[in-house]
Every structure is written in C-alpha cells, then in structure tokens.
Amino acid sequence: MQKEIIYTQKAPAAIGPYSQAVKLGDMVYTSGMIPVVPETGEVAPGDAAAQTEQVLKNLSEVLAAAGTNFDNVIKTTVFIKNMGDFAPINEVYKKYFTANFPSRSCVEVARLPKDVLVEIECIAVI
C-alpha cells in the first residue's frame, strides 16, 4: 500500500513541513486544521465559536479532496486554548457531526499556531 498526499486550495496550505492530509488505503488522516481563511491566509476573526466554524469548513474541504466527509470520520482530536470555550466549540461541532458521533479527545493547550483558539484533526474512512 502506498500513501497519497492530499492537497486542496480550498483549505489553508501547510505552514510547515507537513501535508493537509495523508490517505492510506481506505483511511485518511488529516493534520490539525486551524481557522485560517484559505483565500487570505489570515486567521478568521471572532471568538472560539467563529474560529471553530472556519476550522470545520477547512476540514470539510480536505476530507472532500480525499473522497470522504464528516459522516465517515471515526476520530477527532480537538485542541483548545481555553477549556472555558468547550461549550461554544461543541455547539458548532454539533452542526457538522449530527449523529453517530466519532470518538474524540479534547485537550486544553498553552498555545496553538498563529495564537488561534482551536485546532482540530481527524481520521476518516473513505
């Protein structure tokens, strides 16, 4: 089995030596997505909910480029700057993951790239 690098211009380009996602067989592993607007390269303005919305839009585009979608996500990891933002992040998250929720880990971290408030990565089947 050979890995395939996934890339789409509809999501932010990597800001380091990594790929947006890697596909291996019928699995896709995304890198952590942050709330960068692909067209501008700037961090989406707003609170944690607004930033989560942009993160999930970015993840949606990467998953689509790999041939899958949120219905096929089996695991997410959510990194947040402030655990106090847990509830508003979940409100946005529930708009994208509506049933048969994937497994998930959520971790508060000291700092994220570009000082964003949230980063999410996922694993999905194709």
> Long-range contacts: 35-44, Cβ < 8 Å, 24+?
35/116, 35/117, 35/118, 36/12, 36/114, 36/116, 37/12, 38/9, 38/10, 38/11, 38/12, 38/13, 41/12, 41/13, 43/114, 43/115, 43/116
CATH number at residue 90: 3.30.1330.40
Q: Which domain holds residue 101?
A: 4-125
Q: How many domains does the chain have?
A: 1
Asked if residue 1 has pLDDT above 90, the reply is no
pLDDT, tens digit (0-9, with 9 covering 90-100), for 51-68: 999 999 999 999 999 999
Asked if residue 15 has pLDDT above 90, the reply is no
Asked if residue 120 has pLDDT above 90, the reply is yes
pLDDT, tens digit (0-9, with 9 covering 90-100), for 59-107: 999 999 999 999 999 999 999 999 999 999 999 999 999 989 999 999 9
- The pLDDT value given to residue 87: 98
Residues designated catalytic: 106
Answer whether 0.85 is exceeded by the pTM: yes
Asked if residue 114 has pLDDT above 90, the reply is yes
Report which DSSP code applies to 43: B
